Structure 1
Amino acid sequence: MQDNSFDTLDQAIAQRVDPQAAQVDESGAYPTATIEALRELGLLGLISATEVGGKGRSLGDAARVVERLARSCGSSAMVVCMHYCGAALIEAFADTDTRRAVASGEMLSTLAISEAGSRSHFWAPLSTARADGDQVVLDARKSWITSANHADVYVWSSQPVAAEGVSTLWLVPRDAKGLAVDGPYRGLGLRGNDSAPVSASGVRIPSSARLGSDGAGFDLMMGTALPIFTLCNAAASLGLMHSITAAAIAHCSGGRFEHLDSTLADLPTIRAYLARMQIETDKIRVLWEDSIAAIEGGREDAMLRVLEIKAAAAEAALEVAALGMRVCGGAAYRKEVGVERRFRDAQAASIMAPTTDVLYDFIGKAICGQELF
């Protein structure tokens, strides 16, 4: 980003996000203060076009906001990650009024893609959509929707109404009659991200709520949603790695063996573990920045980077989080050290569709010259 938005974001995080982060985790409360701060800064409309009142910034800028948030609050980072995914699809395919609502920060979005029946195969919805005059009737069991009770609009996938293809995308208001949220969220980590199953029973929306053409949902997910999702998801992992490493260094540098008049960091084994944490964090940051450059520059290897960065960041975050717990020892189990919460938050990325194992298969196919789907 070329202006002083990051300085302003840093101030907002210090004033609004940092004070609530531990409580969001402790109580499972939604990070409302984060959303309000980003709304005031115009960052909810970061990737919306300037012609509709947005900032007109890049996918990389969105990912950098998520990474900075993740250093403080993993739940905030995930909520904003999913908003930017929805915002990208809305900006590309929705009507002008909806685009303006997102650009102004009035509308918080999220994705409603994952389903119980197709599990990590997010591209293959079992949800149905049938035409009824100038309306469409939706029936579905969505397995996880971030901000399920707080987003204003879901970007929703279903099977096509009539066309050939795998899926179709729709804009569905959260308060549409026939939607039911099965919550609250009671997960291991990211406890404030309000992720919950949502079912649709005879939900009626206008046919004009469709994003793109009937049957084009797969291409929209792969071409528009997947790149920003993997960049922002990896950003969340990277931000957590950054904070775990910093917290571990601070603890080991300050924690003392009083009877020996030495610190934990005086032990070569501890320093070696900290070095591994720093190296893994730096490696992912380099790959992440290169992935941003590949996607924004339209490089031939862009799709490979899209697949690689989420898998690499998720796995590295697991390693760094485990090492953080190891080097901080029993103290790591105390919340005030700052490792335990982030350790739990770091577990989610590897099992969030597309899961790491699915991505490994995709990457293997890609480098062997095989079709991905």
Structure 2
Amino acid sequence: MNVQELKSRTAARRSGEHAFVDRSSFLQRTTIVAAAATAEAEDVDRQARFPQGAIDAARAQRLLGIQIPLAFGGDGASMSDVTDMCYTLGRACASTAMIFAMHQTKIACLVRHGTGSDWHETLMRRVAAEQLLLASSTTEGQNGGNVRSSSAAVERNGTDISLVRNATVISYGAQADGVITIARRADDAAASDQVLVAFTRDNYTLERSLEWETLGMRGTCSAGFELKATGSAEQVFPEAYDKIHAQTMTPVAHLCWASAWAGIAAAAVERAQAFIRKAARGAGGQMPPGAAHFTAAKMTLAKLRAMITANLDTYMAHEHDERALSSLDFQSQINLLKVEASELAVETVMSAMRACGLSGYRNDGDFSVGRHLRDVLSAPLMINNDRILANISTASLMSGVPAGLRD
């Protein structure tokens, strides 16, 4: 038994979790949710409404608590399981997939960094039993996507805490059962001295400050709110946010988002394939002009999926190795995944549209990929790629250039 396996089994014993997780039902349960998401995807996009049917199905299939350890009533799903679900849901409805991806990122933080805290373990049990949907509040005021800088601070009064936060975006905030947010540790703390705090719906109020009228991802309902929350000090995660950010928040978010985007791209490629096949049959086997673009779409989708799985394998191999996860090389790699996956997803869907030609451009046909393109265009903008590349460039100067192919 290697060191990694020993650590994993030790962690499982400490939580009372059995070593075996039955994954046999995961695909079937996800497929049922995907069918519900597909049925309302067009209307969710058209009306810019929350995909209630899909999320209700996810609750019924107990997917919202699927990552929660067995000891706390969940299924103990791995990150590989979760990213597969994000991909499957992305093929059905982009908004549903992105909501699921963001929720599961919060759950991953709760599981990894809340175990050992009575309050957070109770929340885990509630998520598993009640299938609570947790929203994320990381964007604030003028900071945009700079999640490593907070303005609002946690106010402390004995064992009580309060927080007032100008959250310019809280995806599905009005529909969530709880919110996990970052904030400055205290009034006198630096903007980067942050904590993560979990609040349930009875702990806070939301006052809408911005609407959500966008080109795509319309069903995520990512409006802006003033968040006013009160609670107890034990709701603050015991570990500092910089550690949570490096070990869990960033890698899990980027893996789940990328998987959802790949699902959107796969759906577009599937429509392009159906169009090319139909066109070829109608022309007696002669390939239509868009066939080359379909080949390009298939190639970029394969590259995108390979990139995600390679990064997923790396993350899972070092999942419990704090030093490896915090290294400059891993942090650069996982941030570049977000940049490259988002660009490749857009390229793939664009190629699929060109393969379909006018039939792909139309919104009223079986081969339309307009919704897919509008949704996937959010990928390079959600935590802007330019910001990520600027941050990576500084870190990259501090790491060496490999001397060989396998170094």
Give the TM-score taking structure 2 as reference length: 0.82
Taking a change above 3 Å as real, the CA distance of residues 221 and 181 of structure 1, as seen in their structure-2 partners, is farther
- The answer to whether the Cα contact below 8 Å between 1:63 and 1:228 also exists between their aligned partners in 2 is no
Counterpart position of 1:327 = 355
The answer as to 2:228 corresponding to 1:208 is no
CA distance in 1, matches of 2:303, 2:164: 44
The 2-side partners of 1:370 and 1:145 are apart by 35
CA 1:98–1:151 in structure 2 vs 1: closer, same or farther (change >3 Å)? same
Distance 2:219 2:342 in 1: 20
**Residues 25-64 of structure 1: pairs in structure 2 closer than 5 A:** 25-64=45-84
Residue 106 and residue 46 in structure 1: after superposition, are their counterparts in 2 closer, same or farther (change >3 A)?
Answer: closer
CA-atom RMSD, angstroms? 2.4
Q: Which runs of structure 2 are paired with 1:12-91 in the superposition (5 Å)?
A: 12-14=33-35, 16-91=36-111
Moved more, 283-292 or 154-163: 154-163
- 2:157 is the alignment partner of 1:132: yes
Q: Matches of 1:105 and 1:75 in 2, distance apart?
A: 22
State the shift of 1:256 in Å. Answer: 7.2
- Percent of matched pairs sharing the same residue: 22
DSSP 3-state at the match of 1:144: coil
Structure 2, gaps ≥5 residues long: 1-21, 115-119, 401-407
What is the aligned partner in structure 1 of residue 374 from structure 2?
344
1:315 equivalent in structure 2:
343
2:300 maps to 1:280:
yes
Measure how far apart 1:318 and its partner are: 1.4
Q: Cα deviations across residues 263-319 of structure 1 (Å, max 9, x unaligned)?
A: 7x713x522211111111000101101111000001855434311221111001111
Quick check: 1:44–1:104 contact (8 Å CA) kept in 2?
A: no
Q: Which amino acid aligns with 1:320?
A: T
Q: How does 1:97-112 map to 2 (within 5 A)?
A: 97-112=122-137
- C-alpha distance 302-313 of structure 1, shift in aligned 2 (>3 A): same
In the superposition, the TM-score normalised over structure 1's length comes to 0.89
Q: 1:128 to 1:293 in 2, by over 3 A?
A: same
Q: Paired residue for 2:265? A: 241
| Counterpart Cα distance in 2 of 1:73 and 1:243 | 9
| 1:170-249 aligned within 5 A | 170-182=197-209, 184-201=211-228, 203-213=229-239, 216-249=240-273
Q: Secondary structure at the match of 2:219?
A: coil
Q: Are the counterparts in 2 of residues 245 and 274 from structure 1 also a CA contact under 8 Å?
A: yes
2:9: which partner in 1? none
Map 1:257-272; keep pairs closer than 5 Å: 261=283, 266-267=287-288, 269-272=289-292
For residues 313-371 of structure 1, give each alpha carbon's deviation from its aligned partner in whole angstroms, at most 9, with x where no partner exists. 10011112222232322222224324011111101111111x21222234434443269
| 1:7-56 residue CA offsets vs partner (Å, 9 max, x unmatched) | 33224422x22211111111122112222222222221121111001111
Number of residue pairs aligned between Structure 1 and Structure 2: 362
The residue number in structure 2 matching 1:360 is 389
Q: Distance in 1 between matches of 2:113 and 2:166?
A: 24
Instruction: Measure how far apart 1:176 and its partner are.
Output: 3.8
What corresponds to 2:29 in structure 1?
8
Residue 278 of structure 2, aligned match among 246, 254, 258: 254
| Aligned-partner residue type, residue 38 of structure 1 | A
